[in-house]
Amino acid sequence: MHVVITIIGLVVVFAVLLDAFETVVLPRRVRRQYRITSWFYRRTWVHWRKITTHIKSSSRRENFLGYFGPLSLLWLLGLWAATLIFGFALLQYGAGEHVQLSGEPITFGRLLYHSGETFFTLGYGDIVPISPMARLLAVLEAGMGFGFLGTVIGYLPTIYAAFSRREIQISLLDARAGSPPTAAELLGRFGNRPQQLEFDQILREWERWAGEVLESHISYPPLGFFRSQHSNQSWLGALTTILDATALIIAGVDNLRSDQAKVTFAMARHAVVDLAQVSNATYDPQYPDRLPASELARLRKTLAERSVNLKEGPEFEDKLKHLRSLYEPYSLSIARTLLITLPPWIHSEKKRDNWEAGPWDRAIQAKSLIVLGQPSVQPQKADDHF
C-alpha cells in the first residue's frame, strides 16, 4: 500500500513540475493534450463566461471579464503550490518516518500540514522526519518552496511586461484607425497620402507587433485572457483590423503598392492561426459574414469620398474573398471563445476616437457656451471609452 502511495506522489510532483516548466520556462507551444494548465483554464473560463451572461451592462461585463486574466495567474500559482504540497505529503506518508513532539500518532492529515509548513519553510519542528528518506524529502520540498517563490517573482513581471508592450501599439492605433479600429478608417486616413512611405512604415510596425504577439502569447498563453484598458479595444480587434486593411490593399487599391501589405498580412495571418490553436478555438461554418455585398458597396463608396479607390470587377471581389477566408474563420473563432467583439470593416455611423472623449467634456463645453453668451446645449454623448 505504501509503495502505491509513493508512486502516486511521484507522479503528482512530476506532473506539476513539468507543467510549471512548460508554462513558465519553455518558450514554445506544447501540443500535449493533457496538461494541468490547459485543464485549469478550460474549466475556470467556462464558469467565468457563464457568470457574464447575468451581467446586462456591456461595460460592466467587459470590466468583469478583465478580472479573469490576472486572477487566473494567482489561482494557477496557488493550484501548483497546493498540488505540490499534496504530492510531497503522499511521498512522506509512503516513504518516510516521523515523530510528533506531543507523542500523537502520525496521520496523513498531519503529514499534509507538515508538508505545507516545509514547503513554505515555516520550520515549527512539531513534526520531525527521522528516516533518511523523510529528511531528504523535507530538504527537497523546502528547496522547491524557494524555487516556487522565485517563479512567482519572475513570472508575474514577465507577463505584465509583455502585456505592456502589446498595449502600447494598440493605443497608437486609436488615432490611426479609430475606436474601435476599422480598415475603412485606417485606409481613409493614410491611404490617400501623396507618399506611401508613411503608410508602409505603419504596416511595418504592425508586422513586428504581430510577430511579438505571436511569440509572447505562445510563450505565455494566459496573456490571451488579458483585456485592453479600453472596452472598445482588444489585441484580437487590432490584429483583425490590420488583416482587413492589408487584404484590401493586396486585392487592389488604386495608387497603393502591396509589397509591405503582403508581408504584414503574412505575419498577421500566421499569428491569428497559431493563436486560435493556443486558445483552443473551434471552427464554426455558420459564422455570419462580416462583409456582405451591401457593406462592401458602402465601404467602396465611403473610401472613394476620401480619395481611396478600390479596384472594380469580379477579380477584386474574388481575391478579397479568398484572402478573407485565410484569416476570418480564425479571428471569429477566437472572438467567440474569449468573448471579444471584433470591429466591423466600416462603422455604421461616425465614432469618436478615444483621445477625443473625456469625462469632463460636457461640463467644459457647457461652460464655454455660457462664457460666449450662448444658450447651454447638451453636446452629443461621447462613447464610453473610460
Backbone angles phi, psi at 176, to 5 degrees: -95, -35
> According to the model, what pLDDT value does residue 38 have?
86
Q: What is the CATH number of domain 2-153?
A: 1.10.287.70
CA distance 140 to 96: 13
Residues 271 and 236: beta-carbon distance below 8 Å:
no
pLDDT digit string, tens, across residues 69-127: 999 999 999 999 999 999 999 998 888 777 776 777 788 888 899 889 889 888 777 88
C-alpha 87: how far from chain center: 31
pTM assigned to the model: 0.84
Residue 175 exposed, middle or buried by CB count within 10 Å (0-12, 13-18, 19+): middle
Residues 75 and 39: beta-carbon distance below 8 Å:
no
pLDDT digit string, tens, across residues 299-334: 999 999 999 999 998 999 999 999 999 999 999 999
Decide if pLDDT at 158 tops 80.
yes
pLDDT digit string, tens, across residues 138-151: 899 899 888 888 88
pLDDT band at residue 373 using 50, 70 and 90 as cut-offs: low
3-state secondary structure of 310: strand
Nearest to 19 by CA among 4, 39, 48: 39
Determine what percent of the chain is predicted with pLDDT higher than 90. 47
pLDDT averaged over every residue in the chain:
87
Determine what percent of the chain is predicted with pLDDT higher than 70. 92
pLDDT band at residue 372 using 50, 70 and 90 as cut-offs: low
Residues 345 and 295: beta-carbon distance below 8 Å:
yes
Q: What is the location of CATH 1.10.287.70 in the chain?
A: 2-153
pLDDT band at residue 339 using 50, 70 and 90 as cut-offs: very high
Count of helices and strands (H, E) across the chain: 12, 2
Residues 178 and 357: beta-carbon distance below 8 Å:
no
Which has more confidence, 380 or 65?
A: 65
Over residues 225-242, the mean pLDDT reads 92
